[in-house]
Amino acid sequence: MKIIVVENYEQLSNEAAKIIINQLQKKPNSVMGLATGATPMGMYEALRKAYANGEVSFKDVTTFNLDEYCGIDPNHPQSYHYYMQQNLFNHIDVKPENVHLPSATSDWNSAAKSYNDLLKQTKIDLQVLGIGSNGHIGFNEPGTSFEQETFVVELAEKTRLDNQRFFNSLEEVPRFAITMGIKNIMQAKQILLLISGKNKAKTAKRLLEGKVGTDFPASVLHLHKSVTIILDEDAYGLAK
């Protein structure tokens, strides 16, 4: 595991973007695994800038997002489809047919199976992850088996409370999501995990302690051979 500690969120975002740009320069037709949430927003901003400056192209890139809420329309401002369009896809030259997110508008179980089938036909070169305060990656909540493939998950109460900040009320936060499973995530060739902010300091400490167990899903990353973690000082604070 390679640990990079940077001063602040801006540096974390630039460092993450740099790793992605290097990957795309080395392999322009990379398959990228992408995350949503607050943490990678700065990284997407840096990627938009790099694209606008001609430093990187996404024209041969394929993307697979980690997850999507069930039961909200792709045009809903809090859907991850919408998030990806706004934060990245609308601004770059990725081909729409090369972009993949779970489609969770109806028949969630068969949508999860189709997404899993798609993932089985590919190999993700670089998977970007954030981490939930309860240690989830994707929406693999504590207790999820490390053998789990893409599935419909009932979100933990902690996750719904954490994500309430993006909605008008807790009631509006979806109860279910489709997520890549831990097994899918672990099949990526390389993994890049971003951890930012004081509110993730306890989580980062638990992760960096190195104890592996399903009670803390991100701990599975200790079993992967190519993981880079970028933390800002606030997130790293308790792990020193």
Active-site positions read 67, 134, 136, 141
User: Binding to ligand F6R (CB under 6 A): which residues in 137-166?
Assistant: 137-139
Q: Distance between CA 43 and CA 49 in Å, rounded?
A: 10
Residues 154 and 142 sit within 8 Å (Cβ to Cβ): no
Which CB, 57 or 74, lies closer to ligand F6R? 74
- Chosen residue from 13, 14, 23, 36 binding ligand F6R by CB under 6 A: 36
Tokens 């890139």 correspond to: 61
Residues 231 and 6 sit within 8 Å (Cβ to Cβ): yes
Give the residue among 224, 179, 145 at the shortest CA–CA distance from 36.
179
CB burial string 64-85: b at 16+ within 10 A, e below:
bbbbbbbebeeeeebbbbbbbb
Which CB, 179 or 190, lies closer to ligand F6R? 179
Q: What is the DSSP letter of 147?
A: T
- Pick the stretch among 100-108, 133-141, 144-152, 204-212 that binds ligand F6R (CB under 6 A): 133-141
Least CB distance to ligand F6R at residue 131 (A): 6
Cross-strand bridge partners of residue 99 = 63
Which CB, 1 or 55, lies closer to ligand F6R? 1
| Radius of gyration of the CA atoms of the chain, in A | 17
- Chosen residue from 39, 63, 116, 203 binding ligand F6R by CB under 6 A: 39
- Pick the stretch among 87-95, 125-133, 145-153, 226-234 that binds ligand F6R (CB under 6 A): 125-133
Least CB distance to ligand F6R at residue 134 (A): 9
Least CB distance to ligand F6R at residue 36 (A): 4
Distances (CA, A) of 182 to 204, 220, 221: 18, 8, 9
Under the binding rule (CB under 6 A), the answer on residue 132 touching ligand F6R is: yes
Under the binding rule (CB under 6 A), the answer on residue 130 touching ligand F6R is: yes
Residues 191 and 129 sit within 8 Å (Cβ to Cβ): yes
- Pick the stretch among 15-23, 34-42, 51-59, 114-122 that binds ligand F6R (CB under 6 A): 34-42
Task: Select the residue whose beta carbon is closest to ligand F6R and give its number.
Answer: 130
Q: Where do contacts with ligand F6R occur on this chain (CB under 6 A)?
A: 35-39, 66-67, 130-132, 136-139
